Amino acid sequence: MKDDCIFCKIINNEIPSTKVYEDDTVIAFNDINPLAPIHILVVPKIHIENLMELENNELLAHLVEVIKKIAIEQGLDKDGFRVVTNNGENAGQVVKHLHFHILGGKKLEIN
């Protein structure tokens, strides 16, 4: 838990969110500013800034499992979807708590 981290606050239920998945180590909720009909953020509960701080391969494997489970639940597996993690300044990472965007529900632009 990092005091000034918005996703830590969401994890602690200090800020409301529309959760689509939760277990002991991972949470997923709808992005507040969706860029696609389905835009979900998959977030480890432990505060890790980004991929460069992620050393726990078991957690990474679990995050991927959760992403796939949500994709199936949301009906994204047939037509496809995008998974994005912004890592640092040049990628435009705004929230400094590791998260994976799941984007789908329409044909996505390449960019």
Site for ligand 5GP, rule CB under 6 A: 6, 15, 17, 29-33, 41, 86, 92-95
CA–CA dist 25, 11 (Å, integer) = 10
Q: Is 62 among the residues known to form the active site? A: no
Q: Which of 39, 97, 99, 101 is catalytic?
A: 99
C-alpha span between 35 and 49 (Å, rounded) = 22
Which of Zn ion, ligand 5GP, none does residue 90 bind to, with CB < 5 to 8 Å depending on kind?
none
Distances in Å between the Cα of 32 and the Cα atoms of 8, 29, 43, 68 are 15, 9, 14, 21
Half-sphere exposure of residue 93: CA atoms within 13 angstroms, side-chain side = 17
Smallest distance, Å, CB 40 to ligand 5GP?
Answer: 9
Residue 2 binds Zn ion (CB under 5 A): yes
Q: Is 82 in the site for Zn ion (CB under 5 A)?
A: no
| Rounded distance between C-alpha atoms, residue 98 and residue 73, angstroms | 23
Binding to Zn ion by CB under 5 A, coded x per residue (else -) over 8-37, reads x-----------------------------
Q: Is 53 in the site for Zn ion (CB under 5 A)?
A: no
List, by residue number, the catalytic residues: 99
